[in-house]
Amino acid sequence: MAKIGTFNQLTILERVDHGLYLDGGELGNILLPQRYVTAEMKVGGSIEVFIYCDSEDRLVATTETPKGQVGEFAYLEVVEVKPNVGAFLDWGLSKDLLLPYREQGNFIINQGDGLVVAIYLDEHTHRIVASARLHRHICPEPPTYAPNDPVEVLIYGDSPLGYKAIVDRKHRGLLYHAETHEKLEEGDRFTGYVKKVRSGGKIDLRRDPAGYQRVESLADRIYKQLEAAGGQLSCNDNSSPESVREHFDCSKKAFKQAIGALYKQRLIRITEAGIERVHDDT
């Protein structure tokens, strides 16, 4: 049976002017709108699609990939706020995801904010919605990780002990301040490592594998990459967080702090195109 809010492999039943009808089992026939149909899709074949409700609460299929599925956590941007209704979040699909007012907890949410939310299916309305009350949606099954297992880490908060994290989009974890030299922010995502699974299911995390030591600062790493690239790199203050993470394995804030330190030391100049090494004779 097809499931709402997840990816499903469905059989193509019929081609119509406005798309393809897919076999949704007990959910009935589900439309894949024409804009997602390709020449390779044939009646009798099967395709992988994501199922959700459109703006008129009709089940539809899409080949687009959302930023999170039902049962997962994701960092999403607020695109609109409606008083007494809730906030609408960009989750990568044509219809924004509703964060109902009742699920906002103690947060004051404004357009342009980003926050980590749980994505779930409302049992009463059968709509996919978000919740900022994360603790209600942690996976009830105890984690079975072994020490040093690699995991996906999503930072959602800070505490005196360390950074609060969602592990593999379903469990709770804590990255102690002593385990990282970076200043992390909500929404930072990276590969971390399991240090220990506690009896209550919470996971102690490492930033790096056991036995690995960071022997140089981020600023040193950036400067070495700059030298290796011939004295110019295309990343600067305006680079996307994804680009910074891809090139330097750090948050954008940490990157900006590092290049700021290099600039103050007069080792680099920051330009519209990126950063440049300052030569000794400059």
Mean pLDDT within 28-43: 94
High-pLDDT (> 90) share of the chain, %: 60
Mean pLDDT within 242-261: 84
Confidence of residue 10 (pLDDT cuts 50, 70, 90): very high
10 Å CB burial of residue 40 (0-12, 13-18, 19+) is: exposed
Write out pLDDT tens, residues 63-80.
Answer: 999 999 999 999 999 999
Write out pLDDT tens, residues 76-92.
Answer: 999 999 988 999 999 99
Write out pLDDT tens, residues 153-171.
Answer: 999 999 999 999 999 999 9
- pLDDT above 60: residue 213: no
- H helices, E strands: number in the chain: 3, 18
pTM of the full predicted structure?
Answer: 0.71
Mean pLDDT within 240-250: 85
- pLDDT above 50: residue 21: yes
Query: Domains of the chain (ranges plus CATH)?
Result: 7-62 (2.40.50.140), 73-136 (2.40.50.140), 150-206 (2.40.50.140), 218-277 (1.10.10.10)
